Amino acid sequence: MAIVNADGSIVRVNSRFEQLTGQRAGEIVGRVNLRGILGCQLLPKTPVPEGAGNARAAPMHYDISVPDNDGEERWLDVAISGLPEGDQYLVSILDVTDRKRAQIALARENEELRQQVQDLERFNRFSIGRERRIHELKARIDELEGRLPQQERQRRKESR
């Protein structure tokens, strides 16, 4: 967690925030802007007016993707809540990279399964249509054979 001013400058951090950024509090506080860490603007552009009730207390949530020091994509769940006094915000950041990667992989697998189901349904419609046509043709043959003399029906049965 971190406490930041309205302009994004970091005022205070906890040890988890240090671990997440890989920097000590002395390197971050007063020297680094939240935008520099997250790579985007998340704080409201205008302060919430006084008398707006709990509007500042309602946290804003963001799922953002940022590159880490190795250039790998990291997914962060960022919650920002305005503090009751002043123009400061409490920023909570959770690394949800593993969860996000699992969600992306699951979505990819779901799409592959959906495609396979469509392929099977298409094949099924073809097969059932073919079987139905064969059944109709056999019924028609039986109907026609019923009109043939007994000798001809016997001959056709033997030739099958």
User: How distant, in Å, are the alpha carbons of 66, 67, 74, 124, 142 from that of 70?
Assistant: 11, 8, 10, 49, 75
Does one domain contain both 109 and 81?
no
Does one domain contain both 68 and 129?
no
Query: Is a pLDDT exceeding 80 seen at residue 142?
Result: no
Q: Is the pLDDT higher at 83 or at 39? A: 83
In which band, very low, low, confident or very high, does the pLDDT at 138 lie, cut at 50, 70 and 90? confident
pLDDT of residue 137: 86
Does one domain contain both 14 and 70?
yes
Question: Three-state SS for 117?
Answer: helix
Query: Looking at residues 110-123, what average pLDDT do you find?
Result: 95
| Number of structural domains found in the chain | 2
Q: What is the mean pLDDT of the chain?
A: 79
Q: Is the pLDDT higher at 88 or at 23? A: 88
| Host domain of residue 85 | 2-95
Query: Looking at residues 99-108, what average pLDDT do you find?
Result: 95
Does one domain contain both 106 and 87?
no
Query: Looking at residues 122-132, what average pLDDT do you find?
Result: 83
In which band, very low, low, confident or very high, does the pLDDT at 51 lie, cut at 50, 70 and 90? very low
In which band, very low, low, confident or very high, does the pLDDT at 26 lie, cut at 50, 70 and 90? confident
pLDDT of residue 46: 46
* Pairing mode of beta strands 10-13, 60-67: unpaired
Backbone dihedral angles phi then psi of residue 13, each to the nearest 5 degrees: -135, 160
Q: Is the pLDDT higher at 93 or at 39? A: 93
Q: Distance between CA 95 and CA 86 in Å, rounded?
A: 28
Backbone dihedral angles phi then psi of residue 83, each to the nearest 5 degrees: -80, 145
Does one domain contain both 78 and 110?
no
Query: Is a pLDDT exceeding 90 seen at residue 84?
Result: no
Does one domain contain both 90 and 121?
no
Query: Is a pLDDT exceeding 90 seen at residue 118?
Result: yes
Query: Is a pLDDT exceeding 80 seen at residue 81?
Result: yes
